[in-house]
Amino acid sequence: MADAPAGGAVAGRGGRRPATYAHRGSSGAAPENTAAAFERAIAEGADYIETDVQLSADGELVIIHDVTLARTTDARLTFADRAPWNVHDLTLTELRKLDAGGWYDEDFTGQRILTLDELLDLLGGRVGLNLELKSPAANPGLAHAVAARLRPRRDWIEPGAQPLVVGSFDEQAVRDFHALLPDVPVALIAYDVPTSGKLTELAEWAFSVNPDIRRLRPEDAARVVEAGMAVVPWTVDSPELWRWALDLGAAGMITNYPYALRNMLRGRDPVPGAGVVVQDIRHHSPGDEPPRAGEHVVLRNVSAQPVDVSGWYLRSQSSARIVVGDGYVLPPGGLLRVHTGPGRDDATTYHNGRTTAVWNGTHGDSAGLHRADGTLVDLYAYIV
């Protein structure tokens, strides 16, 4: 097993506080994988920034999650004739022309795609880094390129340097990177925990296994720990799931809400609360026509006072934003169903008029409930 990164919590049940990994930065509060999200995560006390690296058309290492630029930039407008807007089809000069923040909120307009070097400089000695080699099949040579770029960065790879973990869903890419920089801890990211035989093999060279929290069973987490590796599940976005992960012995958790997780780990309330909670998410309703047209979120006022939720909004795990319209005041005990699609509004139902579904009906999803000023007041997650 590779040595644990210096300074990081590594044992969920060993008396040390589990590490907080900010998923693509503090992406519940800022556009993912941008300087704004990374600075926010550092300010919120995250132990690690978790982020993704790919290759541009001219071989530059850039920080972005999706293989396509369509979701998190204005590539559709800037390069209207370049569909499907793959990262590896544009040069760094072209990528720098894109706005990577306005899609999330107009307040973040002007955020840009960073290079790996820019990210390392931004993080400095302030926080650890969990770097995912993203989609190696679409980025041939990615592991070698990252290793070559990291090799001269002694501030990140020498003993006692800032904590660094490099991982991927692609085991061969992780192996290739490990062969080039064997002293840097590596992680296998997975949906399900591998078999016991495979874990024994991985433990010879890997630091951690990072499974999907919604598919993680207690016995599987125990097998990882018994093999001598850390369990660092993704993406864990509610107090209930955080407690579940702690019970399973997680050495750390990857989350969109690092500040709330840190609060809970320190014995504080994860979020301040504002009298209204997410009671349920219906990602599918029987009889939907077309399918999933009836998906909605149920909000409940659990306080003794009326609460005006005008302008409040929800964010899904992938940062889709669902806004409550003006004029909605929930009486004590009152419910409001916030639909993602079109429909007829009434006193207890609001429709956003979206043309596509939001909530994940495959494995599950999570929602952060925010007041109009952006303050997070509740977190909810469900497992399908």
**334 token code pair:** 């009152």
Instruction: Give CA–CA dist 261/45, Å, rounded.
Output: 10
Instruction: Give CA–CA dist 34/24, Å, rounded.
Output: 8
Q: Catalytic pick from 23, 88, 178, 283?
A: 23
296 tagged catalytic? no
The residue whose two tokens read 């001219």 is: 58
Farthest CA pair distance, the chain: 62
Q: Catalytic pick from 65, 283, 296, 339?
A: 65
Instruction: Give CA–CA dist 44/38, Å, rounded.
Output: 10
Amino acid identity of residue 29, one-letter, is A
Instruction: Give CA–CA dist 259/269, Å, rounded.
Output: 11
Cβ distance 292 to 305 under 8 Å? no
Q: Which residues pair with 349 in a beta bridge?
A: 337, 346
Cβ distance 214 to 234 under 8 Å? no
Which residues does the annotation mark as catalytic?
A: 23, 65
